[in-house]
């Protein structure tokens, strides 16, 4: 095995046990970055870490639940103890709830706010002195869903819209200290994100645009998304929009609904009431909470 090079950049990736985070970790290892991988599923992190170490990079895995208040301090503390500092924080972990807001379990909503919104901010807060010392980068994974307020993912979209607002504010705060803050806004990507939503079988076979997984033509390829995110470390951008055919119509719809909010209300409300009458939205609720379903293999 190649000896570990301590001069390589150190990148912390949250949500590294699956999807975009795991693909990003592989891409970053290919670029020769040392890595800190974090998520709840420690077995997956350890497997990925062992795979990536064979490429000559140093990899630390930190299994934690980002819904825990101590998690940000644990992640950054372990990173600094092992590597002596860090260069890049990628706030990638996140999940959606497969239900309308009015049907969601309050405990799931609290968990979603913690993982998607509170933890990224607190991680950045813990990491900032180290990032300032190394003129580093924060990369926040938001979502293109913020263009149109979708009732099926309302609380999820709110966490991502909040993340986007804070991203811009923090970029302005840290600019003169030489720290870059970038927002990634993917459209649909085929990952376990949608598997988790589909844990709840639809009542009818009908395609439900609010809660169903996107159709293949709408979906970006995970390794392509990961490559584009990895490039931000050397070529930072304020916003990285991961293009896919669905994103542009979505943005145009968002523009229209911004100009004429009543149009958005009529369009989205009629979809909700259609599926609500069919009982589809309620049926998806049964079988427990997503917070419990998410971490299983």
Binding residues for ligand NAP, rule: CB under 6 A, are 15-21, 39-41, 65-67, 92-95, 115, 141, 143, 186, 188-189, 191-193, 196, 294-295
Is 171 or 244 the residue whose CB approaches ligand NAP more closely?
244
Q: Is 156 a catalytic residue?
A: yes
| CA distances in angstroms from 185 to 60, 94, 118, 171, 247, listed in the order given | 27, 13, 18, 16, 10
CB of 215 to ligand NAP, least distance (A): 12
Is 130 or 244 the residue whose CB approaches ligand NAP more closely?
244
CB of 81 to ligand NAP, least distance (A): 20
Is 233 or 290 the residue whose CB approaches ligand NAP more closely?
290
CB of 29 to ligand NAP, least distance (A): 16
Task: Given the residues 156, 165, 200, 207, select the one marked as catalytic.
Answer: 156
CB of 85 to ligand NAP, least distance (A): 23
Is 95 or 275 the residue whose CB approaches ligand NAP more closely?
95
CB of 280 to ligand NAP, least distance (A): 21
Is 44 or 130 the residue whose CB approaches ligand NAP more closely?
44
| Closest residue by beta carbon to ligand NAP | 19
What is the 3-class SS of 181-209, one letter each residue? EEEEEECCECCHHHHHHCCCCCCCCCCCC
Q: Which residues are catalytic?
A: 156
């Amino acid at each position: 095995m190649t000896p570990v090079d301590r001069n390589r950049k150190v990148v912390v990736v949250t949500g590294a046990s699956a999807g975009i985070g795991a693909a990003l970790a592989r891409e970053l290892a290919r670029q020769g970055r040392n890595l800190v991988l974090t998520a709840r599923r420690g077995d997956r992190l350890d497997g990925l870490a062992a795979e990536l170490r064979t490429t000559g990079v140093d990899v630390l895995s930190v299994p934690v639940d980002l819904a825990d208040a101590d998690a940000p301090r644990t992640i950054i503390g372990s990173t600094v103890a092992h590597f002596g500092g860090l260069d890049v924080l990628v706030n990638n972990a996140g999940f959606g709830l497969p239900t309308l807001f009015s049907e969601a379990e309050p405990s799931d909503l609290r968990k979603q706010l913690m993982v998607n919104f509170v933890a990224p901010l607190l991680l950045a807060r813990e990491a900032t002195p180290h990032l300032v010392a190394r003129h580093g980068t924060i990369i926040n994974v938001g979502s293109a869903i913020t263009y149109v307020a979708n009732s099926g993912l309302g609380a999820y979209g709110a966490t991502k819209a909040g993340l986007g607002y804070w991203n811009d504010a923090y970029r302005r705060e840290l600019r003169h200290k030489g720290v870059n803050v970038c927002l990634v806004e993917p459209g649909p990507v085929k990952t376990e994100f949608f598997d988790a939503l589909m844990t709840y079988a639809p009542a009818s076979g009908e395609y439900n645009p609010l809660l169903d997984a996107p159709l293949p033509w709408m979906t970006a390829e995970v390794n392509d998304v990961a490559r584009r995110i990895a490039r931000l470390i050397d070529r930072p951008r304020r916003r990285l929009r991961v293009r896919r055919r669905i994103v542009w119509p979505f943005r145009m719809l968002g523009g229209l609904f911004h100009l004429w909010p009543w149009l958005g209300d009529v369009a989205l409300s009629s979809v909700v009431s259609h599926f609500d009458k069919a009982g589809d939205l309620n049926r998806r609720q049964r079988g427990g909470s997503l917070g419990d379903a998410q971490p299983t293999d």
